[in-house]
Amino acid sequence: RKEVEQDPGPFNVPEGATVAFNCTYSNSASQSFFWYRQDCRKEPKLLMSVYSSGNEDGRFTAQLNRASQYISLLIRDSKLSDSATYLCVVNGAGYSTLTFGKGTMLLVSP
Amino acid sequence: GAVVSQHPSRVICKSGTSVKIECRSLDFQATTMFWYRQFPKQSLMLMATSNEGSKATYEQGVEKDKFLINHASLTLSTLTVTSAHPEDSSFYICSARTGTGGLSSYNEQFFGPGTRLTVL
C-alpha cells in the first residue's frame, strides 16, 4: 500500500462548484497532515494544515479522520484560479520528513 | 513566509557532465534542508536530508556518490548531480526548515522554486 494515496483526477468542475478531494495514509503513527497546492511546473505551496477537529480557511475546509486514516479537502465556490494540483502531505512520527501524495488535479472552467 | 531560492531554475546539459544546484534560504537560517525530485505526474520524492555541518542522510535507493549534497552554512545547500544521464532529467526541489522537527514540534518547510534538469 502506498504511503499516501490520492485520486489523481482530473476533476473538471465549473466555476462556483463545490469539490472534494480525499486522501488516505498508511502510517498510523503519522502526526501532522497538510494540503499543499502545486501549480504546473512550480514548487508546492502550503495551502493549509489539517487538524483533528477539522478546520476551515475561507472557501477551504479540511478534515482528518485518524481512525480511518483519511484526510479530505473541500473547496466551495470554485474559482478559475483554484485550478492546480492538490497534494496531500503527511508528516511522520518524529516530525522529521514529509511524505507527499501524487496529487489530485483540479480544473475549474468558466 | 520565508523565502528560499534555487539556482539555476533550468539547466540543459550533455550526458556525462556534472550539474550543481544551489538552494539558499534568504531571510532565515535553515537548520535542515531537504532535496526532492519530481518526475512528471509523480509525487515529490525525498532524496536526502541535510543538516548544516554534517553529512546528508539519503533515502533508500538514492546514490550518495551520484547526488552529492553539501550544507556548509545555515543558508546554503548544494546538490551536485555527477555524471548526469538522461534518466536523471527531473524537477529538483529543495526545501528549508528552521527547526530540527523534534517530537514536540513541527517546523514548516519552505520550498524553493525548483530546478528543471534536462540531460541530453
Q: Does B93 touch chain A (CB under 8 A)?
A: yes
* Interface mutation vs chain B, best among A26, A87, A96, A102, most B CBs within 10 Å: A96
pLDDT of residue B102: 47
Q: How far is CA A30 from CA A2, A21, A68, A93, B37, in A?
A: 14, 19, 12, 5, 22
Please indicate whether, in this complex, the C-beta atoms of A42 and B46 are within 8 angstroms of each other.
no
- Assigned C-alpha cell, B41: 505526474
> Tens of pLDDT along B48-75?
999 888 889 999 999 999 999 998 888 9
Is A23's pLDDT higher than 70?
A: yes
**Beta strands B10-13 and B115-119, pairing class:** parallel
> Tens of pLDDT along A89-105?
998 655 568 889 999 99
